[in-house]
Structure 1
């Protein structure tokens, strides 16, 4: 798959909230994930670690009120999109969060993701 095809598939699955399927289908086994400064998981590598990070994040959510992923912008072997959600995290007030997500593609798979707030 080309970067554009991966970005299109990513967007389609994200609109349906199928982030597990995105990881299973589009991520490389040795994918690298980098979160913004201050994150409990600043950087992890490998699909198992990325999935575990998602599980831990979901355990912190008390209630999810909705989310969005904008259409990706593709350039060369990268694509980026604005993403966000509104949620009440355990022990915190309800809040809206937004970030820019940057993905790098190699050999038809996402090899890295990095999030900027």
Structure 2
């Protein structure tokens, strides 16, 4: 798939809430996921490598969610081997209360798979 096709499929699955299929279909086994420095303050790892580590990171986040009130994801902007989206959620986290989170997500695509994701918030 081209970068545009990967980006389009990502958005299609994101709108369905199918993060499991995004990871299964679109992520490379060797994916690198990078969070901002501020993520460490929330108990998240700065960088994880490999699909199993990315899935574990997502599972840990989901287990911390008490209630999801809403969210959004913009249409992708594609440039070369990269695409980005703005994403956000209104969520109540266990022990932390309700918060609104907004971020920019940048994805690198190689050989039809997402090989790197980086989040800015």
- TM-score clears 0.5: yes
Q: Does 1:69 align with 2:73?
A: yes
Q: Paired residue for 1:51?
A: 55
Map of 1:73-88 to 2, 5 A cutoff?
73-88=77-92
In the aligned structure 2, how far is the partner of 1:60 from the partner of 1:53? 11
Q: Paired residue for 1:7?
A: 7
Q: Paired residue for 1:19?
A: 19
Deviation at 1:6, TM superposition (A): 0.3
SS state of the match for residue 71, structure 1?
coil
Unaligned runs of 5+ in 2: none
Deviation at 1:38, TM superposition (A): 2.5
1:98 to 88, 102, 105: 102
Deviation at 1:93, TM superposition (A): 2.1
Deviation string, structure 1 residues 53-111 (Cα, Å, up to 9, x no partner): 00101111111111111100000000000001111111122111000000000011000
Unaligned runs of 5+ in 1: none
In the aligned structure 1, how far is the partner of 2:97 from the partner of 2:66? 10
User: Which consecutive segments of 4 or more residues in structure 1 shift more than 2 A?
Assistant: none
In the aligned structure 1, how far is the partner of 2:56 from the partner of 2:97? 25
